[in-house]
Amino acid sequence: MEHEIRQGWRIVFIGVIGFLLWATFMPLDEGIPAQGVLASESSRKQVAHHAGGIIKQIAVKEGQTVIKGQTLLTLDETQSISALKAAESQWWTALVTEARLQAEANHQDILTVPDVLKPVSENPDLRVILATQRDVLRTR
C-alpha cells in the first residue's frame, strides 16, 4: 500500500514539474489591447480601435507628421474574417430553416434554396446546412 502511495506522489510531482517546464518555455501568441496618443500642433488626439485586434503593420514612425486620411496601421484580418464566416453561417442557417418550415407548413416534400442564397449555392458550408434541413424535412 505504501509503495502505491509513493508511486502516486511521484506521478503528481513529475506532472507538476512537466507543467512548469512547459509553462516556462512554451511561447504563447496573444494580442495586447492598447491605445495610442497622437500629438498635433493644436491638441493631443487619442486613437483606439473599438473591437481590438492584432496589428499587422505600422505604417508610420514615431514623430512622423501625418495627413488626414493617411493609413497609420493595418490590423490583421483573421479575426474579422472568422467573425464574418460565423455570422454568414448563422444567417444561412436561419434562411434555410425558414424555408424548411415554410415547406412543412405547405405540406411540401422538397426544400428549395432561397433566392438570396442562389449565388452561393455551391458553397460547401451551405450544402451541409441544406442537407441537414432536408433530412429534418424528410423525417417529419
Domains in the chain, number: 2
Residues 67-91, mean pLDDT to the nearest whole number: 88
Instruction: Answer yes or no: do 69 and 100 share one domain.
Output: no
Q: What is the distance between the alpha carbons of residues 81 and 26, in angstroms, rounded to a whole number?
A: 27
Quote the cell numbers at residue 100. 424548411
Residue at 9 is within a domain:
no
Handedness of CA 112, 90, 106, 132 (dihedral sign): positive
Instruction: Output the pLDDT for position 59.
Output: 87
Mean pLDDT of 47-72: 80
Least confident piece of the model among 22-36, 70-84, 115-129: 22-36
The CA-based dihedral angle spanning residues 122, 126, 131, 136, taken in that order and rounded to the nearest 10 degrees: -150
User: Between these two residues, 7 and 35, which has the higher pLDDT value?
Assistant: 7
Q: How far apart are CA 133 and CA 112, in angstroms?
A: 10
Q: 56 pLDDT band (50/70/90 cuts)?
A: confident
Q: Is the pLDDT of residue 14 over 80?
A: yes
**Cα(92)–Cα(90) distance, integer angstroms:** 5
Residue 129: pLDDT above 90?
A: yes
pLDDT reported for residue 115: 92
User: In the chain, what percentage of residues exceed pLDDT 70?
Assistant: 81
What is the domain range of residue 49?
36-75
42 with 88, same domain: the answer is: no
Residues 69 and 93 in one domain: no
Return d(Cα 46, Cα 34) in angstroms, integer. Answer: 11
